[in-house]
Amino acid sequence: MTSTASDTVRVWLVERTYSDDEQNLIILTYATTDGERYFRKERALTSFTDARDTTAAVDADPDNLGSVDDSDLREQYAAEARRMADAHDPDDVI
pLDDT in tens, 5-59: 569 999 999 999 987 766 778 899 999 999 999 999 988 776 555 567 899 999 9
Contacts of 9 (CB under 8 A, 6+ apart): 1, 2, 3, 32, 37, 59, 60, 61, 62, 65
Q: Provide the whole-model pTM.
A: 0.84
User: 3 vs 31, which has greater pLDDT?
Assistant: 31
Beta bridge partners of 41: 28
Examine the pLDDT at 2 and tell me if it is beyond 90: no
Q: Half-sphere exposure of residue 59, counting CA atoms within 13 Å on the CB side? A: 10
Q: What local confidence, expressed as pLDDT, does residue 88 receive? A: 97
The whole-angstrom separation of Cα 38 and Cα 57 is: 12
- H helices of the chain, in order, are 71-87
